[in-house]
Amino acid sequence: MQAVLLLIHLLLAITLIIVILLQKSEGGGLGIGGGNMGGLMTARGSANLLTRATGIIAACFIVTSITLAILAGNTRQQRSIVDRPAAPIQQPVAPSGPSVPLAK
């Protein structure tokens, strides 16, 4: 289930990048597409189509992101710091060598 959802998520990410790059850039930045898509649609129609497609793909991307986060959170056991046993405190050990008598 997670593997299929992850594959869909990756395909949505790639598609979203492509659709964003196809949009006409107003600032002349990275807008690769622009134009009127080979004469099939008017410039305004293609802009509306790409804008709607971007919104739909972005919404699907967010849904898959949230779903993957929920599935990843359910697979591991939740542990609290309070529930963990404390690490044993080690007392310093006196050297166990020959003892020297003290002069009185």
| pLDDT digits 0-9 by tens, 15-34 | 999 999 988 766 555 545 55
H helix runs in 1-104, sequence order: 2-22, 43-75
Tell me the average pLDDT across 31-39: 50
The answer to pTM > 0.75 is no
Q: How far is it, in rounded angstroms, from Cα 6 to Cα 61?
A: 11
Q: How far is it, in rounded angstroms, from Cα 22 to Cα 102?
A: 90
Can you give the residue ranges of every domain in the chain?
Answer: 2-75
Which of 30-34, 40-44, 69-73 has the highest mean predicted lDDT (pLDDT)? Answer: 69-73
Vertex 11 angle, CA 74 and 33, to 5°: 145
Q: How far is it, in rounded angstroms, from Cα 80 to Cα 89?
A: 20
pLDDT of 60 > 80? The answer is yes
Instruction: Identify the pLDDT of residue 74.
Output: 72
pLDDT of 72 > 70? The answer is yes
Q: How far is it, in rounded angstroms, from Cα 70 to Cα 76?
A: 11
Query: Which tops the pLDDT comparison, 71 or 103?
Result: 71
| 3-state secondary structure at position 80 | coil
Q: How far is it, in rounded angstroms, from Cα 92 to Cα 82?
A: 26
